Amino acid sequence: MDFRDGVRRALADQRLQDAYGKATGRFQRGRLKAFEEFPEGEALRDLARRIKAATIGELDRYLLKLSESGGPHRGGGWGAADAAEARRIVLELAARYGARRVVKSKSMTTEEIDLNEALEDAGIDTVETDLGEYIIQLAGETPSHIIAPAIHKTRDEVADLFVEKLGSPRLDRHEDLTHEARRHLREAFRRADLGITGVNFAVAETGTVAVVENEGNARFVSTLPRVHVAVMGMEKVVPDLASLAVFLKILARSATGQKASSYVSLISGPRRDGEEDGPEAFHLVVLDNGRSRMLADPELREALYCIRCGACLNACPVYRHAGGHSYGWVYSGPIGSVLAPSLADHASAAELPFASSLCGACREVCPVRIDLPRLLLAQRRQVVEAPVSERRRRPAKRGERLLVRAFAWVAASELRYRWASRLGYWLARPMARGGWWRPPFFGGWTRRRDLPAPAKKTFRQRWTEKD
């Protein structure tokens, strides 16, 4: 979907606006409270950033260590250069084990590679087992938030969906809907021969993968079927268990405001002799899919620090109004807009870095302090400077180009800048706080928000008077 069309549609849908406003507001308040009650949180964010910077700086070494550290009990490790290769590997594994029924836990990496479609096309029955993912799978939609895929759905819509797709009676309470989903999912777990999970972190030192969740479904997915396949982006590696502990402390607080996630599964391989639980075989698929390009680019490398907590989405005024589906691919919000031109291959990808006011709210909340505004600017510059043959973004409109040139001309001279500030002041006064006047090109800007009254004196005047 074209981003602008998606935004227009989302803005016209008051129900959607309410759903996003409510859910992101709840997440934001939860995050704020969690860090207020956690004095060491800020220092841990600094430490987490240092760990990420060091690990991403030597990613090849840590990936090699990860591949060597599992020991003989570990199943296969697979490197996938792109989405097509990752799909092929998973399909080959399914064929090798004769798997006809797959259960999955929530994994944005498998969404990134369109794994469900590939499995279904191969005739493999595939069931998402995270409640939000299950809902959107039934609805035939894609996730609209990194950690809350069905954030855009109301309880009534879910109730209607269950009536239509599951043949359930009309259920009105959250508990009843959850119970109904659980009833169907238990059956899917029981019948599945292959389970697929994502990976939140992979510990290089021990070869352990950590899967973080709140529902317990990933634990079923990784233990009940005969085979477990975990799919991870190559940036998910952390050096050791001590580093893992740092990330676990800030991930849940940033994502949902919880002190800790309900379930953290540490998986180091299949069931060993004498053990009762676990799969017979375990395979780890490590996905590149454009990440090496970002790694090689000193301007963009920082984007690989992301631990997919979703906090930047909740803080972003653009995401909160545009909604996840407007972005047209799996990762939305500020981090999605940074990743899109490098990882995504769809028409809107190059537009997305421009979908930001650069207010900096995302940088404030990011647990690993990723400088998202700087990354968005870097992506914008790279998109604009790309050779014409490679450009996927439509060129700026004539009016937009003229406006930027006019600003550059004004800003290049102190005198012109000073006079323009005064002029802006006199133009903005009648517009402010629902005033009567709208300049011809800025009507859209004030249609949905107030323009605050300008200060009586410009910054430059106050600065001069200060002396």
Binding site residues, ligand SF4, CB under 6 A = 146, 306-312, 335, 365-368, 370
Q: Which CB sits closer to ligand SF4, 34 or 365?
A: 365
Q: Which CB sits closer to ligand SF4, 50 or 101?
A: 50
| Extended beta strands in 18-163, E state | 77-80, 101-104, 125-128
Give min distance, CB of 63 to ligand SF4, in A: 20
Contacts 24+ apart (CB under 8 A), 448-451: 448/11, 448/321
Q: Which residues, at least 6 apart from 284, have a Cβ–Cβ distance to it below 8 Å?
A: 74, 75, 76, 77, 78, 199, 202, 209, 229, 230, 232
Q: Are strands 125-128 and 263-267 parallel, antiparallel or unpaired?
A: unpaired
CA separation for the pair 224, 55 (Å, rounded): 33
Give min distance, CB of 370 to ligand SF4, in A: 5
Give min distance, CB of 299 to ligand SF4, in A: 16
Give min distance, CB of 135 to ligand SF4, in A: 22
| Phi, psi (degrees; rounded to nearest 5) at 24 | -70, -35
Q: Which CB sits closer to ligand SF4, 52 or 152?
A: 52
Give min distance, CB of 197 to ligand SF4, in A: 19
Q: Which CB sits closer to ligand SF4, 89 or 311?
A: 311
In sequence order, what are the beta bridge partners of 286?
79, 232
CA separation for the pair 122, 118 (Å, rounded): 6
Give min distance, CB of 48 to ligand SF4, in A: 9
Give min distance, CB of 326 to ligand SF4, in A: 17
Q: Which CB sits closer to ligand SF4, 51 or 93?
A: 51
Spatial contact of 46 and 370, defined as CB atoms under 8 Å apart: no
CA separation for the pair 44, 34 (Å, rounded): 13
DSSP code for 278: S
Q: Which CB sits closer to ligand SF4, 287 or 312?
A: 312
Q: Which CB sits closer to ligand SF4, 150 or 375?
A: 375
| Phi, psi (degrees; rounded to nearest 5) at 284 | -115, 120
